[in-house]
Amino acid sequence: MKQLIVKILSCHRSMPLILAAIAAAALGMALLSQYVGGLHPCILCIWQRWPYGIVIALGILDFALSFKSSKAVSGVMALIGISFLANSFIAFYHTGVEQKWWKSIFQSCSVPELKGDMAQILEDIKNRANAARCDEIPWSDPIFNLSMANYNVMFCLGLALVAFISARLIWKSA
């Protein structure tokens, strides 16, 4: 079993596509939960989608490079790992905002300040009326009570580890 896992992780042609497919599935789940499930994303949820898009693009680029140089594939696999790691950091930050460990630095994640004249206050409230709050958890699983941001931390940390191990194995086999 260990040999099979090492063989898959060191395959410079399939690993970029596998990770791109996983990223596409995760992004698809986020979009399904938004458009079918009615869970409106906050700005931090949107930010967590960008690294998935980057991984998809890098995975396709990496697959194209796999026909030329496996060392180049190794470098791009490391970038894929960095993208997943960045996503994990964003999700961890979002978890902290949800748990009220710290306040969000994004203005759209907070209650509007009641400063200025009445027209400015009403405009600020109107602009934020449809925005989801970063410090509210719209969904958590019924068993462990973890939010999507909590799961994204663990998911992306695991995928970053897989990408880094794969990059190392591809480099060694080149």
Q: Render pLDDT for 33-42 as a digit per residue (tens, 0 to 9).
A: 889 988 888 8
pLDDT more than 90, % of the chain:
40
Per-residue pLDDT band for 98 (boundaries 50, 70, 90) equals: confident
Count of structural domains, the chain: 1
Per-residue pLDDT band for 129 (boundaries 50, 70, 90) equals: low
Size of the chain in residues = 174
Residue 50 has pLDDT above 80, yes or no: yes
According to the per-residue pLDDT averaged within each range, which of 5-9, 11-15, 22-26, 139-143 is highest? 22-26
Q: What is the CATH number of the domain that holds 91?
A: 1.20.1550.10
* Span 106-117, pLDDT tens digits: 765 655 555 667
Rounded CA-CA distance 124/15 in Å is 46
H-only helix segments in 36-142: 43-65, 70-98, 118-128
Token duo for residue 58:
């890098």
Q: Are 104 and 44 in contact, with CB atoms under 8 Å apart?
A: yes
Per-residue pLDDT band for 160 (boundaries 50, 70, 90) equals: very high
Average pLDDT, the chain: 84
Q: What is the pLDDT of residue 64?
A: 85
Q: What domain range is 151 assigned to?
A: 2-173
Q: Are 1 and 138 in contact, with CB atoms under 8 Å apart?
A: no
For residue 37, give the DSSP letter: T
Residue with tokens 């470098």: 75
Rounded CA-CA distance 79/41 in Å is 26
For residue 102, give the DSSP letter: S
